[in-house]
Structure 1
Amino acid sequence: MGAESVPRREVVTGRPGTDRAGLPRPRPAVPAEEDTAVRILMHRQMRAALTATVLLAASLGLLPVTLRLLPLADTWPSVWLVLGVAPYPALLCAGAWYVRRAERNEGDVTAR
């Protein structure tokens, strides 16, 4: 029994991320080029995500208007068929576009 090592207990008396004086720990210095590259990547990824969201919201948001204007809105099976089938190609295309764009953004930034 005495040969087993017991982990030492630690007493936590303050918030994590602070030193003993209660001041925040300084962050490690990041090279300016790396910081700029990360910011560029974040902006590009955000732009791609917002573009995909706007395109999907516009296309799926206009679907009820389109159904209302089409003459096939009077027959219920065709309406449910369009509602059940039409959004999926748009979702798949937007998802595939976003993945390709995100990978291209990461490749552009890491190639620098």
Structure 2
Amino acid sequence: MTALAKKVGGPVALLVTTLGAGYVIGRTTEASGKRGVDVLKNVVKKRNAPCELKDTVFTVRTDGTDGQGLEFKAGAEYRVLDCSDDAILIELIGDDDNPHVVFHAFLATISDFPAAPAGDEH
């Protein structure tokens, strides 16, 4: 510590340098931390946002089969039970084998489901 104090011009200069560097590092860390907390809050808020399409009933316009083999027939209806990003939990009305998870992009191609991702509907 003595050698370091001599290099910067004495103990007072070492104290001032240490305090100045500590202040700059502390403020930089604080600003980064605040920005990180704000980003994290926004992510959590978006993740916990309610599905605005919940309980909405949509009509199938054209026959189609999703990637998991679930068949949709023109004229059939389904109700949105929940949504998370691009995955939509639906109930096929009149089908005993419910619920089903279907991608929003597929639903938009076969029905009157909105083309925008469900996560953007919040």
TM-score normalised by length of structure 2: 0.34
More helix by share: 1
TM-score normalised by length of structure 1: 0.37
More strand by share: 2
